[in-house]
Amino acid sequence: MTDLAPFLAAIEGVPVETDRALVRQKSRDFFWYSPVLKRQLNRVTADAVVTPRDEAEVARVLAAAVRHRVNVTPRGAGTGNYGQAMPIRGGIVLDLSALDRVVWTRPDAVRAQCGAKLIDIDAHTRASVGGELRFHPSTKRTATLGGFIAGGSSGIGSCTWGILREPGNILGLRLLTMEQTPRAIELRGLDIQKANHAYGTNGVITEVEMPLAPAWEWVDVVAAFPTLMDAARFADGFTRQDGIAKKLVCVLAAGIAQAHFRALAPVLPAGRAIALLMVAAPFLEFLPALLAPHGGTEVHRQRSDAAEVPLYEYSWNHTTLQVLKTDKSVTYLQTLFPPPVHLAKVAEMEAAFGDEVPIHLEFVKFGGEVACFGLQLVRFTTEARLAAIIAAHEAAGCPIFNPHAFTLEEGGMKKVDHDQLAFKREADPLGLLNPGKMLAWENPDWRPSQSRHLYETA
Ligand SMILES: Cc1cc2nc3c(=O)[nH]c(=O)nc-3n(C[C@H](O)[C@H](O)[C@H](O)COP(=O)(O)OP(=O)(O)OC[C@H]3O[C@@H](n4cnc5c(N)ncnc54)[C@H](O)[C@@H]3O)c2cc1C
């Protein structure tokens, strides 16, 4: 445990929590989705939680942490699911949820503080300029904007707009460096990638500027299909319909929704694959003709903003959460089924693994093409079997963004991001920000095969 007394004295006046139970609570995220991370990270806790109320207080905290060599792990709402916001080397959790102001809004863009909740930003921009964020994670009701940029990637709206990494989906980031006198840096254009999805390892984001899309009246539609591939072929074609405003094209193998989505189950026909869609109201009348060639029929419809549980809370990583509520034995994968062979690869993996890996697909635009991400469920038996399933997908040409690893490199493309590493040298020269999450910081020559013995913490 770090001796925090001199550091805490230096930040007197900034809210601090040291109660062990509360600190432990805010040292955790949804890492327990993964049996591997659960084993590795279950005992992780910070020494204190510090909650600055404005950017000046964030700067004071960072300056004092540098002076007293205290590790700092930024935190938004703690909904990340690979332990991104967990302080694996102790120190403080920097809770940024109090920086929650919308700074300004224009008809085409919004700038907000990092701790603003995505749902509050959307409510604000809808009311003031008739716009909304292009896309959001399925944790929209709780997640913060800074946490989405630093820890997330894509979500509801990615079927139209692609993922955060694609140029144009983030307009600007303001961040503070981890130095004795913290500097504020504004990243714009392609420089944004230096800190996008860096798990808060190379700067504390204080403000984010995002483009807006038109705010439609969204309608949730559930459709049923004879087979998984019927649903997947419909979803692929539907995602290509650029004339139809849509936010969600999700496909679930037969049985997932019927067995685990309690509120929807009564309307879902047994034995059928399911598609979850969000479509703008004016375009609904096109749906029957697009569903019919694939044997699809609409089985349920609700207004997205009026529903107790909006359909997006059954999609993306919420699918796994809903299933875990009734079956604790499952875990999941994150797979890219690469275009243009994505549908063939889905069929290949369905045939290879059957009910051991029930298929869940999210259709997206990816590099200008239609592709699908798999967030397949896995009926977990052993870590060795899970590793074998992952290896088989990669050998078949379907890259896995491993959700059972807590470092940037292992969870991502299994390679060092040299731009993020170079920016860390500039913005966090002592390596105090979220230490242990960027393998390349400790070993710039890191290779995938080296990771396990270096970062096994249990
Ligand atoms: C049920 C469920 C569904 C999900 N669905 C999706 C989805 O559809 N799409 C998706 O992309 N993700 C999804 N996620 C992951 C996660 O919810 C999102 O990425 C979310 O946006 C994270 O926001 P947060 O505020 O909770 O961030 P946190 O979990 O608090 O933090 C995430 C990372 O960002 C860092 N961080 C936080 N704030 C800052 C800051 N201001 N400056 C620097 N670093 C910072 C943290 O250190 C951490 O590394 C899901 C997770 C769950 C549990």
CATH of the domain at 340: 3.40.462.40
Predicted local distance difference test score (pLDDT) of residue 458: 30
Inside any domain, residue 445 = no
Q: Which of 34, 209, 313, 317 to mutate to test the pocket of ligand 1 (most atoms within 8 A of CB)?
A: 317
The domain of 341 spans: 218-395
What was the pLDDT predicted at 415?
85
Considering the entire predicted model, what is its pTM? 0.96
In a domain? residue 36 = yes
In the prediction, which pLDDT does 414 show?
A: 82
Asked which of 95, 126, 143 is the last residue of a domain, the reply is 95
CA of 299 to the centre of ligand 1 (A): 32
| Domain-located, residue 50 | yes
Q: Is residue 81 part of a domain?
A: yes
On whether residue 151 sits in a domain, the answer given is: no
Looking at the structure, do residues 91 and 226 belong to the same domain, yes or no?
no
How confident is the prediction along the chain (458 residues), in pLDDT tens digits per residue?
Answer: 668 999 999 999 999 999 999 999 999 999 999 999 999 999 999 999 999 999 999 999 999 999 999 999 999 999 999 999 999 999 999 999 999 999 999 999 999 999 999 999 999 999 999 999 999 999 999 999 999 999 999 999 999 999 999 999 999 999 999 999 999 999 999 999 999 999 999 999 999 999 999 999 999 999 999 999 999 999 999 999 999 999 999 999 999 999 999 999 999 999 999 999 999 999 999 999 999 999 999 999 999 999 999 999 999 999 999 999 999 999 999 999 999 999 999 999 999 999 999 999 999 998 899 999 999 999 999 999 999 999 999 999 999 999 999 999 998 878 889 999 999 999 999 999 999 999 999 888 887 765 543 334 33
Residue after which a domain boundary falls, among 95, 126, 145: 95
Cα–Cα distance measured from residue 302 to residue 141, given in angstroms and rounded to the nearest whole number: 18
Q: What is the CATH number of the domain that holds 58?
A: 3.30.43.10
Residue 129 lies in a domain: no
User: Closest residue (by CA) to atom 1 of ligand 1?
Assistant: 318
227 and 376 in a single domain? The answer is yes
Assess whether 222 and 90 both reside in one domain: no
- Give 288 Cα–ligand 1 centroid separation in angstroms: 36
Q: How many domains does one find in the chain?
A: 2
pLDDT given for residue 454 in this prediction:
37
Pick the last residue of a domain from 70, 95, 120: 95
The answer on 86 and 227 residing in a single domain is: no
Ligand 1, pocket residues at CB < 6 Å: 29-30, 73-81, 84-85, 96, 114, 137-139, 143-144, 146-148, 150-155, 199-200, 204-205, 316-318, 321, 434
Position in ligand 1 atom list of the atom nearest CA 150: 34
Question: Do 364 and 223 fall into the same domain?
Answer: yes
Cα 61 to averaged position of ligand 1 atoms, centre (Å): 22
Q: Report if residue 429 sits inside a domain.
A: no
Distance 392 CA to ligand 1 centre (A): 28
What residue owns the CA closest to ligand 1's atom 15?
80
Is residue 31, in this structure, part of any structural domain at all? yes
